[in-house]
Amino acid sequence: MSQPPEVHSAWLPPSAFRALGSRRIRIEGRGLLVDTVRSEVAQACASFGGRICEPGEPADLVLDASVTSSEGFRIGRLGESTVVAADGPAGLLHGLFEVVRRGEAAFDPALAEERHEPALPLRVLDHWDNVDVHPVMGQVERGYSGGSIFWRNGRLREDLTRVRGYARLLAATGINAVTVNNVNVHTTETHLLTDGLGQVATLAGIFRAYGIRVHLSVNFAAPVILGDLDTADPLDDAVRQWWKRTTERVFEAIPDFGGYLVKADSEGQPGPFTYGRDHADGANMLAAALAPYDAVVRWRAFVYNHRQDWRDRTTDRARAAFDHFAPLDGRFDDNVIVQVKHGPMDFQTREPVSPVLFAMPYTRLAVELQVTQEYTGQQKHVCYLPPMWSSLPLRSAAGLTAVSSVGDDPFWTGHPLAQANLYAVGRLGWNPGLDPLAVLDEWISLTFPGLREVLHDLMDDSWQTYEQYTAPLGVGFMVRPGHHYGPDVDGYEYTPWGTYHFADRDGVGVDRTVATGTGFAGLYPKPFSQLYESRATCPDELLLFFHHVPYDHVLQSGTTVIQHIYDTHFAGAERVAGMRERWLSAAGPVDPAVHARVAERLDEQLRSAEEWRDQINTYFYRKSGIPDAKGRTIH
Ligand code: GCW
């Protein structure tokens, strides 16, 4: 019988614990997370010959936790020892992983004292996992790494070893919360709130040992779906009582439960609109039920009309979240966090920052990223995303949330190199000021220490490369409808989804100006509104997001739009061919399973990049009739 493939150790291979595990370590403090630290250290010492010292004994590393709930810690030198002095047990765990990341450098006698604490209090990965296998979306909606690590055959998995491994990996990045089910809450998953709660409590028990709190996506119509009431009206007393009682039971089962996540009145999910109420009414009802506890409602701002008529030029999907939510600023209770996708459309490769993030000063906001690569190559393409995220105003947010990319695949993320995005999201939630390439370097050094050069070569500019061969200049989409993989320029052009590019024989792009378009550009504060309003100042990479321009419009780069399309598509596909060659020649020091998986994905990336190149180039050549100035083959 063939053995199941071994689960990859990701950024915590045993060797990452060498520096720590070969030393004398004293641990001071009490509680579950201190016990976790102790068992991590014991395991490392068992492998590398170090030991845990008794109180008072001299040590190379002192891990000392005070008793607060703060996640911060100090690291520095005291005499002959490196000391991690943590505010509390959670801080000690984060401090331990800081020591792991630094390796030998953590024991340098010249180590300068530093204080670390998370910039954002909430750092959460949302799983779009279904308990059942959904007939269209499969088990994990937009999942590219196999089945769910939590759920199987309609219930919690029996073997939860991987969940513990996952909790450990996430804790090492700084993540402190996980949502265990999809925001599209189907019937079975609605029951997780009540009769399925025991299963959620089991997961919470595993995550708790790594300082991670569990959240649940809830169905706004739960009181009706679960058969208890005939309305879900948020202002109805019986409904409010139902949520209060149900929430009490949740906290009886899971005392440190983190909160509810809600997708309401969006893409067919139920919500307050059915009852003539608004999103603040809906969110505040759940906030009232959660008020006695230290927990939050995350209410998603991803609300738009998905039954738009493509002939209707007055509706602009990019405006939707702003139009629905900005007028509600100041009406949300303190324990509500409005969760905003980073761009105004939908996790495209290039979008401007959502204007909602600047429009609600009296509301707690969280930014939502998509680590699962729905629109960025579905973990078949190498696409290191943090350079895109680094432009977001994260520091002022109440939380950073990201859709997880993890499944039961032996590499966790399908593409082994996609692990880097998962690693980075935790690190950037902790410290948004980190340089994305420095974070990549950290991930490489921990995960594939022998491959620094080749992986930087493949990954540093991989997002820009992906952008080059896909939809041009911020126009977005052009993907195959439904599964969203591969090119289909007009695939969404005459559909109800509001994701149009308006290419005709003269030009392409969406006029979102105030002067002649949908007015979206005017939703930004100055100077951004002015910058985007004018073709002359709009950044090239967003030109077609904001403007409909002729093909011979000259970009700030000096190239025409049509020539830019040709040039970038040839360059992007060529770059992928180079990445593939580079990887194949790196065979020597690489684990054969990793090598084979990455090689197979690069073959597909190249096939796909050439398909994108040829379809986009031919499409625009046929529309515009303008030949490539460099005379290359356009079919
Ligand atoms: O990008 C779209 C996805 C849907 C997803 C939705 C959302 C969970 O195509 O699959 O549904 O976004 O964010 O709610």
The pLDDT tens digits for 325-363 are: 999 999 999 999 999 999 999 999 999 999 999 999 999
Is it the case that residue 240 has pLDDT exceeding 60?
A: yes
Q: What percent of the chain has pLDDT over 70?
A: 99
pLDDT band at 161; cut points 50, 70, 90 = very high
Among candidate residues 129, 233, 346, 533, the one labeled active-site is 346
Model confidence at 56, pLDDT cuts 50, 70, 90, reads confident
pTM for this model (two decimals): 0.97
- Residue 267 bears catalytic tag: yes
Q: Are 328 and 195 part of one and the same domain? A: yes
d(CA 610, CA 621): 16
Domain ranges, residue 600: 467-510+548-624
Q: Which residue CA neighbors atom 2 of ligand 1 most closely?
A: 346
Looking at every residue in the chain, the average pLDDT score rounds to 97
Identify whether 105 is part of a domain. yes
Beta bridge partners of 402: 125, 369
| Alpha carbons 272 and 22: distance in angstroms, whole number | 58
Instruction: Report the sign of the C-alpha dihedral through residues 349, 123, 234, 277, in that order.
Output: negative
Cβ 128 under 6 angstroms from ligand 1: yes
In this structure, what CATH number is given to the domain that contains residue 391?
3.20.20.80
Residue 221 structure tokens: 């119509």
- For 368-387, what is the HEC assignment? EEECCCCCCCCCCCCCCCHH
Residue that finishes a domain, picked among 101, 116, 131: 116
Give the model's pLDDT for residue 431.
97
Residue of minimum CA distance from atom 11 in ligand 1: 184
CB of 129 closer than 6 A to ligand 1?
no
280 with 335, same domain: the answer is yes
Query: Is 159 found in the same domain as 34?
Result: no
Closest CA to 423 of 100, 73, 88: 100
Minimal-distance CA residue to ligand 1 atom 3: 142
Same domain as 159, residue 75: no
What is the tally of structural domains in the chain? Answer: 3
Q: Burial-class residue 361 by CB neighbours within 10 Å (0-12, 13-18, 19+).
A: exposed
Average pLDDT estimate for 295-320:
96
pLDDT score of 586? 86
- Could you identify the residue written with the tokens 């331990």? 96
Q: Ligand 1 within 6 A of 183 CB?
A: yes
Domain match, 563 and 418 both: no
346 is catalytic: yes
Note the maximum CA span of the chain: 81
Q: How many other C-beta atoms lie within 10 A of the C-beta of residue 377?
A: 24
Q: Count CA atoms closer than 13 A to 131's CA, side-chain side.
A: 20
In terms of domains, do 222 and 336 share one? yes
Domain contains 521: no
The answer on 132 and 102 residing in a single domain is: no
How far, in Å, is the centroid of ligand 1 from the Cα of 424? 22
State if residue 142 touches ligand 1 by the CB under 6 angstroms criterion: yes
Is the CB of residue 346 below 6 angstroms from any atom belonging to ligand 1? yes
Q: Which of 49, 105, 114 is closest to 84 using CA atoms? A: 114
Beta pairing partners, 296: 259
Specify whether 202 is located in the same domain as 340: yes
Specify if 453 maps to a domain. no
CB 424 within 8 Å of CB 438: no
**Statement: residue 601 has pLDDT above 60:** yes
Distance 142 CA to ligand 1 centre (A): 8
Residue 325 three-state SS: helix
Q: Ligand 1 centroid vs 43 CA: distance in angstroms?
A: 40
State the pLDDT at residue 59.
97
What distances in angstroms separate CA 92 from CA 13, 56, 169, 208, 211, one per listed residue? 20, 19, 16, 14, 10
Q: Assign 236 a pLDDT band (cuts: 50, 70, 90).
A: very high
Are 133 and 261 in a shared domain? yes
Same domain, 107 and 137: no
DSSP string of 74-99, one letter each residue: EEEEETTEEEEEESSHHHHHHHHHHH
pLDDT of 1 = 39
- pLDDT one-digit tens code per residue, 248-303: 999 999 999 999 999 999 999 999 999 999 999 999 999 999 999 999 999 999 99
Report the alpha-carbon distance of residue 272 to residue 266 in Å, rounded: 11
Out of 80, 267, 453, 591, the active site residue is 267
391 occurs within a structural domain:
yes
The pLDDT, as a whole number, for residue 587 is 67
